[in-house]
Structures are given as C-alpha cells and as structure tokens.
C-alpha cells in the first residue's frame, strides 16, 4: 500500500513538473511577439516616450525570465494580469466565463458517459454480430467528423427545419427548465456525438481485452451465461481500463468545446480564448491556455492513476 502511495505521489509530482514546463512554453511562445503590448495598447501614433513609460509601468522592460516569474506568481495567487483588450482584470473575465464552460462540459459528461459505457459494453458482449459491426463503423466515422459539421447539421435540422431550438444557445440565469434544456440541447448533442463514439470504442476494446483472457474461457466452460460472464467476471477487471478510457475521452472535450462555443455563440472560456487570439490579448490568452492545459493534465493524470490502481503489474 505504501508503495502504491509513493508511486501516486511520484506521478502527481511529475504532473506538477510538467505543468510548470508547459507554463514556461506557453509564456515564452506568447511573449515572443514582434512589437509588444505597450505599443499595441497605445497605437501607432504614440510617442516613443509614452510607449517606454507604459512599458516600464507594465514591467515589459524587464528580462524575460523575471517577467515569467512575476507572471507565474500572479497566476498562482489568482492574479494573472490585466486584459489588454478591455482593461479588465483577467481573473474577473475568466471567473464570469469559466462556470458556463463547466456547466456545458458537466452536462455533456452526464449524458455521454453512461451512453458510451452502455454502447461499448453492449458491443463487446455481442462482438462480431451485426449490431457490433454497425456500431463499430458508425463510431469509427463519428470520430473523424469535424464538430462544425455536426453543429451545422444540428442547426439545420433542429433550428431551421423543425424549429425546436433557437440557434443561439444561452439560457439566462433565471431560465425555466424548458428554456434551459432547449438552450443546451444542440451544443451538448454536438459534443456528445464525438465523445460517445470515442469512449464507446475504447470501452469496447477494454471489455473485449478481458473477454479474451483464459479466466473468461474458464467461466464460459463452466456454463456461465454471457451476461454473467461479462457483468460478473469481465467487467470488474475492466473497470480500470474503462475509467482510463473515460478520462482520455473527456480530454477530447477540451478541444471540441472550442468549436462548439464559437459556433453557438456560447459565452464560455473557450470562446473567450478564441477572442483573445483574434485580439492578441496575451495576458488573457495565457491564462486561458493554462486553464486548458491544467485541465488536460488532470484528466491524463486521473487516467494514469486509474490504470495503476487497477493493474498491479504497472506498480513495479
């Protein structure tokens, strides 16, 4: 047990170290831009003196590594700087947007995970059957479809033809349940299609992996029914790989949500980040990028831990 804790501690330490490296990469790439923030804020007609004054006020005249330490310190204490585009604290901008993205991601997860597990386990139980082959092909196609096609088709069908939902997807805080559902239906649907396909494929592979083990053959020879073999014998052993699949699948959300928030005008942190790129609003961009990188690392770490805890062979 102690050995396990030590190993987990090591993995978490490694993840923190990676996050530090990632923050350095993000900071230095985004500070390399030709012409700096002070020039951008004051415009082309500013006098050199004014630019120099603002530069020193913003701390831009200091060498890169000092600025990095300042920035990192600010990030850790919850003050990642001031947005260049609208003079608001980055923390405030992110704080208004982040919960909305989390709600979107949360609803998607709640819908997608059970569905993906059901489809994956069902396909594994009937592997080789017609249903399995159809599901396999469908999910294989679905993981290759760009999100904006799914979103476009969803808008065409549900907003333009059927007029069930509005193409704009944001429910006010005091929305009724119906309004809430109709606002979230299309973004969640779009994200779910790809997410379910990915997780179902990985779940199926994990369960089939177990079904090919000798102990399953033994259970079959004993005369256990298919349902019993899968649910009682194979599934408990596949929990680790499945949890791994779910965590890795969820990391897809981080990319998918960018497109979905933009196409549905959803005021989340991903569309905030795209705006930051368009406006070259570096402090905001850096903060958003770190949120996404940290979320990604947490998911990968979680997947890793699930694999370690469930498989003693990996602990050595």
Partner 1 sequence: MPFNLTRPPSATGLIGLALVLFWLFVALFGSLLAPHPVGEIVAYDVFEPTGGAYLLGTDYLGRDVLSRILHGARFTIGLALVAALLAGLTGTALGLFAAVSPRWLDETLSRFMDALISIPSKIFALVMIAAFDSSALLLLLIIGIAYTPGCYRIARSLAVNLNAMEFVLVARARGEGRLYLAWVEVLPNMIHPMLADFGLRFVYVVLLLSSLSFLGLGVQPPDADLGSLVRENISGLAEGAPAVLMPALAIATITIGVNLLIDSLRGKIRHAAGEV
Residues engaged in binding partner 1 (CB under 8 A): 18-19, 21-22, 25-26, 29-33, 127-128, 133, 137, 140-141, 143-149, 152-153, 155-156, 159-161, 167, 201-202, 208, 211-212, 216, 220, 226, 245, 248, 251-252, 254-255, 258-259, 262-263, 273-274, 276-278, 280, 282, 285-286, 289, 292-293, 296-297, 300, 303
**Number of Cβ atoms within 10 Å of the Cβ of 303:** 21
Question: Please, which residue, 51 or 219, has the CB nearer to partner 1?
Answer: 219
Residue 273 CB, nearest approach to partner 1 (Å): 6
Question: Please, which residue, 53 or 297, has the CB nearer to partner 1?
Answer: 297
Residue 198 CB, nearest approach to partner 1 (Å): 9
Within 8 A by CB and 6+ apart from 211, the residues are 124, 127, 229, 230, 234
Residue 54 CB, nearest approach to partner 1 (Å): 20
Sign of the Cα pseudo-torsion (250, 255, 260, 265, in order): positive
- List beta partners, residue 89: 82
Residue 13 CB, nearest approach to partner 1 (Å): 13
Question: Please, which residue, 50 or 149, has the CB nearer to partner 1?
Answer: 149
Q: Which long-range contacts (CB under 8 A, 24 or more apart) does 162-169 make?
A: 167/264, 168/264, 168/265, 169/264, 169/265, 169/266
Residue 174 CB, nearest approach to partner 1 (Å): 27
Within 8 A by CB and 6+ apart from 22, the residues are 290, 293, 297
For residues 264 and 275, give the distance between their C-alpha atoms in angstroms, rounded to a whole number: 14
Tokens 């396990």 sit at which residue?
4
As given in the structure block, the two tokens for residue 290 are 């770190």
Within 8 A by CB and 6+ apart from 58, the residues are 37, 38
Residue 40 CB, nearest approach to partner 1 (Å): 12
Residue 112 CB, nearest approach to partner 1 (Å): 16
Question: Please, which residue, 175 or 277, has the CB nearer to partner 1?
Answer: 277
Residue 1 CB, nearest approach to partner 1 (Å): 27
Question: Please, which residue, 176 or 213, has the CB nearer to partner 1?
Answer: 213
Question: Please, which residue, 49 or 291, has the CB nearer to partner 1?
Answer: 291
Within 8 A by CB and 6+ apart from 70, the residues are 59, 62
Question: Please, which residue, 19 or 181, has the CB nearer to partner 1?
Answer: 19
Q: Which long-range contacts (CB under 8 A, 24 or more apart) does 216-222 make?
A: none
Question: Please, which residue, 179 or 217, has the CB nearer to partner 1?
Answer: 217
3-state secondary structure of 212: coil
Identify which of 28, 38, 39 has the alpha carbon closest to the alpha carbon of residue 71: 28
């Amino acid at each position: 047990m102690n050995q396990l804790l030590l190993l987990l501690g090591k993995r978490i330490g490694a993840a923190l170290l990676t996050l530090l490296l990632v923050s350095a990469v993000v900071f230095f790439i985004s500070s390399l831009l030709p012409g700096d923030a002070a020039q951008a804020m004051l415009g082309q007609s500013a006098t050199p003196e004014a630019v120099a004054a603002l530069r020193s006020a913003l701390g831009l005249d200091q060498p890169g590594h000092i600025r990095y330490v300042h920035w990192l310190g600010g990030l850790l204490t919850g003050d990642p700087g001031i947005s260049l585009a609208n003079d608001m604290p980055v923390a405030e901008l992110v704080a208004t947007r982040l919960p909305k993205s989390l709600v979107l991601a949360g609803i998607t997860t709640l819908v997608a995970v059970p569905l993906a597990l059901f489809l994956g386990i069902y396909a594994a139980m009937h592997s080789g059957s017609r249903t399995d082959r159809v599901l396999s092909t469908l999910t294989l196609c679905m993981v290759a479809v760009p999100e904006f096609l799914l979103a476009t088709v969803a808008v065409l069908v549900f907003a333009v033809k059927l007029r069930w939902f509005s193409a704009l997807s944001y429910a006010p805080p005091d929305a009724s349940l119906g309004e809430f559902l109709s606002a979230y239906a299309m973004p969640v649907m779009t994200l779910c299609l790809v997410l379910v396909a990915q997780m179902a494929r990985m779940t199926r592979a994990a369960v089939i992996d177990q079904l090919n083990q000798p102990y399953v053959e033994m259970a079959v020879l004993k005369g256990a029914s298919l349902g019993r073999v899968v649910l009682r014998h194979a599934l408990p052993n596949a929990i680790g790989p499945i949890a791994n699949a779910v965590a890795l699948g969820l990391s897809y959300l981080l990319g998918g949500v960018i497109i979905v928030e933009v196409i549905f005008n959803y005021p989340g942190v991903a569309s905030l980040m795209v705006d930051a790129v368009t406006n070259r609003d570096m402090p905001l961009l850096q903060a958003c990028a770190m949120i996404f990188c940290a979320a990604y690392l947490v998911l990968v770490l979680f997947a890793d831990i699930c694999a370690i805890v469930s498989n003693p062979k990996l602990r050595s």
